Amino acid sequence: MTDEAIKALVLKQLNRIAPEAETAELDPDVDMREQIDLDSMDILNLTIALHEATGVDIPESEYPHMTTLNGCVAYLRTRVK
């Protein structure tokens, strides 16, 4: 999976979780929770959605890596087949 494809996947799931958020304007290196006001339920839903889409099991201890768009890409890049 290319970085672009992973990014598109994350954005697609974010749009499902937060339809009213302006994901097009996300700064990929800034915490998404602050940019589009995500809470722990949103992060859990994102993790579940990414797991279902990629098969990657993301342990709770790795959540801190998943808080930025680029962080998600970097984490999934090495693990998605």
Partner 1 sequence: MAEFRMPALGADMEAGTIVEWLVKPGDKVKRGDIIAVVDTEKATIEVEVFEAGLIQSIVVPAGEKVPIGTVLASIATDDEAAPALAPRPPSPAKPPEIVRPAFQPIVPAPPIIERPPSTMPPVTRGRLRVSPLAMRVALDLGVDLSKVKGTGPDGAITKSDVERAAKSVPPPPPPAAPSVKADKAGGPSQPVMTADERHVAMRKVIAAAMVRSKHEIPHYYLGTPIDMSHSMGWLQAENLRRPVAQRLLYSVLLLKAAAVAIRDVPEMNGFWIDGAFKPGEAVHVGVAIALRQGGLIAPALHDVDKKSLDEIMANLRDLVNRVRAGTLRSSEIADATITVTSLGERGVESVFGVIYPPQVAIVGFGKIAERPWAVDGLVGARPVVAASLAADHRVSDGHRGALFLAAIDRLLQEPEKL
Considering beta carbons, is residue 45 or 70 the nearer one to partner 1? 45
Smallest distance, Å, CB 76 to partner 1?
A: 13
Considering beta carbons, is residue 4 or 20 the nearer one to partner 1? 20
The span from the CA of 50 to the CA of 48, in Å, is: 6
Q: Please report, as ranges, the residues that interact with partner 1 according to CB under 8 A.
A: 16-21, 36-37, 39-41, 44-45, 47-48, 51-52, 57-60
Distances (CA, A) of 21 to 11, 37, 45, 70, 78: 11, 8, 15, 18, 28
Smallest distance, Å, CB 22 to partner 1?
A: 10
Q: What is the torsion angle, in degrees rounded to the nearest 10, for the CA atoms of residue 39, residue 43, residue 49 and residue 50? A: 150
Smallest distance, Å, CB 17 to partner 1?
A: 8
